[in-house]
Chain A
Amino acid sequence: MSKESNIDIYRRRFLSGTATAAAGLAVAPGVLLTEVANARPADEAVSSDVRWGMLIDTNKCDNGCDDCVTACNEEHNLEGFGRPTTDAQWIRKVTLKDKQTGHVQTLPMLCQHCEHPPCVDVCPTGASFRRDDGIVLVDKHICIGCRYCMMACPYKARSFIHEKLHDQMPYSPRGKGTVESCTFCVHRVDVGMTPACVEACSAEDHNAMTFGDLNDPDSDISQQLKQHSSRQIRADLELNTGVRYRGL
């Protein structure tokens, strides 16, 4: 009897051991792949194991500060022509005042890098596209400048290039007659850095912007999102935005 129960125990141990090993095998690649993807070599394709996202804490966003905007303009050389209605703005500071309570807050608005981006849906040529890692971009080579994406974007995140540009950054190609928007600083992200706006925000110790992998449960952004309530702008559209806001 006791022999039999011992065998049972061994059997149970063996089975649970195999199950743990199997579970470990199933989980490990996910974890490992995420690690690999974070430091993706240049010749490796972008993978959907990563979903880049940004969390903006409006409580930490300083009313008078526009460091994120300045950093973006410098990074991508978004030179202004002194014409606010036609100059490109990839990120902008928005000030909100509650009509009922008078509460004032401020936050940066940028491309929300939706999982289901309306700009990508409507683009006739496929110039607007979403990378597997969630970054929404415009292929400037096949953009015909129809501006339908600008009609479709619920966040007013896109700018049309209304005039000839000079001194462009090699990593951030732009062109007259095409549409553009925040790239999440894809050229930096691909080499393991964070977007310029996030870096600028941290440099001033505001830390209102967190950038990271939404698919990695251990990433700082995922942890913060898990602990605190946050929201998407125009969540009613069910676009599953990559940019989330706290304190809004």
Chain B
Amino acid sequence: MKELVFKEIDGGKPFYMLLGFMGLFVLTALGAAWYMEHNGHWVTGMNNQIVWGTPHVFAVFLIVAASGALNVASISSVFQKTAYKPLARLSGLLAIALLVGGLAVLVLDLGRPDRLIVAMTYYNFKSIFAWNIMLYTGFMAVVGVYLWMMMERKMNQFTRVAGFSAFVWRLILTTGTGSIFGFLVARQAYDTAIMAPMFIIMSFSFGLAIFILVLMGIYKWSDRPLGDSILFRLKNLLGVFIAAVLYFVLAYHLTNLYITENHGVERFILMDGGVYTRLFWIVQIGLGSLLPLALLYHPSTGKSRGWIGIASLLVIIGGMAQIYVIIIGGQAYPMELFPGKEVVSSFADGVVGSYTPSLPEVVLGIGGVALALAATFVGVRVLRFLPDSLSDEAVDPHYAAK
């Protein structure tokens, strides 16, 4: 194993074009946010029944993926797997970038984004949201310090401690994100402790899928060698994470199916929920879990970079569908205020909430993704985040023995 040389990627025209392209998405998203704020939320698909819409799907996805993107670094620093060490810096950078992207979307979808300072200065310490504000800002600081320990030679000795802190922090952070839903007693689809660990395992999967795509993209684009050894390790790990998410989804639904009072919401999600049922079975389970599992472990597609990339992309699409079903499907199912009664009112009591994503919401969400990617590209351009080679010879400690 050769000594690693970390280098900034080259700038030049293609870099600025890519950055400009991302910037365009960010600007359009800002325009969309302004349009929604100026007119009020009635121009979106959201209403008094579905109060969290597509921006929340993007924001929660990015925030969950952010903590998962840090996994590669944790495996290197906390679990001492040297093979992952060359990737640890990118992992930290991507984690911060994805979190920034997600938070930007979340904030711009507030009813009063101009009152961000209020959110920073008034705290209700019983609110999991308030804890999350601290967990998110703290995460950026902790990962920032962790990156510094990794990138400053004199500080390398503290890498493991910093890495351990970041690892613990990210577990608490995703527990907090899952508990936003886990702590909600009002709605049938939530109010369950499994949300916290399920969100953690979802973060492993989504974060790694994004990491693989970003890694492959940057190395291909900057013409640096990326060996099979490191990529195959990552894709095998992704397979394990996909299976683990499936297990949690199974445990969640089995528990609900056993409990009679939850039969209604299960019937809604699994059988007659229309778009939510289709998203669950076709996109989340079929395209987003089973197909990538097959692709990653099939003897031929599992060795093809193209298919590994496609499998990672499918995991991201499936993950978005999963969060859509949790957030919007969970709200669409009517609340059980009067068990055993048919309910009619002027306020959509007893009926499935209607929601269609509006263009500005989708544009705002995509802007968050673009912001995260742009921040990552700028990071690898100006600082030494990436080794100049990730060829098998450079990274595989057992390469010589082969």
Which positions in A face B, CB cutoff 8 Å?
81, 83-89, 92-100, 109, 118, 120-127, 142-148, 150-156, 158-164, 176-179, 233-234, 237
Contact A177 B112 (CB under 8 A): yes
Contact B337 A125 (CB under 8 A): no
Contact partner, A151, options B112, B115, B186, Cβ 8 Å: B186
Q: List 5 A-B contacts (CB under 8 A).
A: A94-B338, A94-B349, A120-B124, A124-B130, A151-B187
**From DSSP, what is the main secondary structure of chain B's interface residues?**
loop
For residue A146, which residues in chain B have a CB less than 8 angstroms away from its CB?
110-111, 119, 129
The CB with the most chain A CB atoms within 10 A, among B124, B183, B340, is that of B124
8 A Cβ contacts from B112-138 to A: 112-113, 115-116, 118-119, 122-124, 126-130, 133
**How far is it, in angstroms, between the C-alpha of A100 and the C-alpha of B183 when the chains are bound?**
33
Contact partner, A126, options B39, B124, B180, B184, Cβ 8 Å: B124
Known: A148-B129, A160-B51. A122 touches B110 (CB 8 A): no
Contact partner, B115, options A93, A144, A233, Cβ 8 Å: A144
Which positions in B face A, CB cutoff 8 Å?
37, 39-42, 46-49, 51-52, 110-113, 115-116, 118-119, 122-124, 126-130, 133, 180, 183-187, 331, 335, 337-338, 340-349, 354
Contact A124 B52 (CB under 8 A): no
For residue B110, which residues in chain A have a CB less than 8 angstroms away from its CB?
144-146, 177
Contact B349 A177 (CB under 8 A): no
Known: A89-B347, A109-B349, A154-B186. A234 touches B122 (CB 8 A): no
For residue A142, which residues in chain B have a CB less than 8 angstroms away from its CB?
115, 118, 122
Contact B37 A150 (CB under 8 A): no
For residue A176, which residues in chain B have a CB less than 8 angstroms away from its CB?
40, 111
Closest B residue to A178 by beta carbon equals B111
For residue B341, which residues in chain A have a CB less than 8 angstroms away from its CB?
96-99
**How far is it, in angstroms, between the C-alpha of A234 and the C-alpha of B180 when the chains are bound?**
21
Contact A237 B129 (CB under 8 A): no
For residue B345, which residues in chain A have a CB less than 8 angstroms away from its CB?
92-95, 109
Contact B116 A144 (CB under 8 A): yes
**Within the complex, what minimum Cβ distance (angstroms) separates A194 from chain B?**
23
**How far is it, in angstroms, between the C-alpha of A204 and the C-alpha of B130 when the chains are bound?**
46
Closest A residue to B190 by beta carbon equals A151
Closest B residue to A139 by beta carbon equals B122
**Within the complex, what minimum Cβ distance (angstroms) separates A183 from chain B?**
17
Contact A150 B40 (CB under 8 A): no
**How far is it, in angstroms, between the C-alpha of A86 and the C-alpha of B110 when the chains are bound?**
16
Apart from the given pairs A81-B42, A92-B346, 6 other A-B contacts in the complex at a CB distance below 8 Å? A96-B343, A99-B340, A118-B185, A122-B184, A156-B335, A162-B40
**How far is it, in angstroms, between the C-alpha of A162 and the C-alpha of B46 when the chains are bound?**
9
Contact B342 A150 (CB under 8 A): no
Known: A85-B48, A123-B127, A124-B119. A96 touches B354 (CB 8 A): no
For residue A120, which residues in chain B have a CB less than 8 angstroms away from its CB?
124
Contact B340 A98 (CB under 8 A): yes
For residue A100, which residues in chain B have a CB less than 8 angstroms away from its CB?
340
**How far is it, in angstroms, between the C-alpha of A144 and the C-alpha of B107 when the chains are bound?**
9
**How far is it, in angstroms, between the C-alpha of A94 and the C-alpha of B343 when the chains are bound?**
7
**Within the complex, what minimum Cβ distance (angstroms) separates A140 from chain B?**
10
Contact B347 A156 (CB under 8 A): yes
**How far is it, in angstroms, between the C-alpha of A39 and the C-alpha of B327 when the chains are bound?**
46
Contact B111 A144 (CB under 8 A): yes
Contact partner, B337, options A99, A155, A177, Cβ 8 Å: A155
**How far is it, in angstroms, between the C-alpha of A92 and the C-alpha of B346 when the chains are bound?**
7
**How far is it, in angstroms, between the C-alpha of A144 and the C-alpha of B369 when the chains are bound?**
24
Contact B184 A123 (CB under 8 A): no
**How far is it, in angstroms, between the C-alpha of A202 and the C-alpha of B128 when the chains are bound?**
42
Known: A124-B119, A233-B337. A162 touches B342 (CB 8 A): no
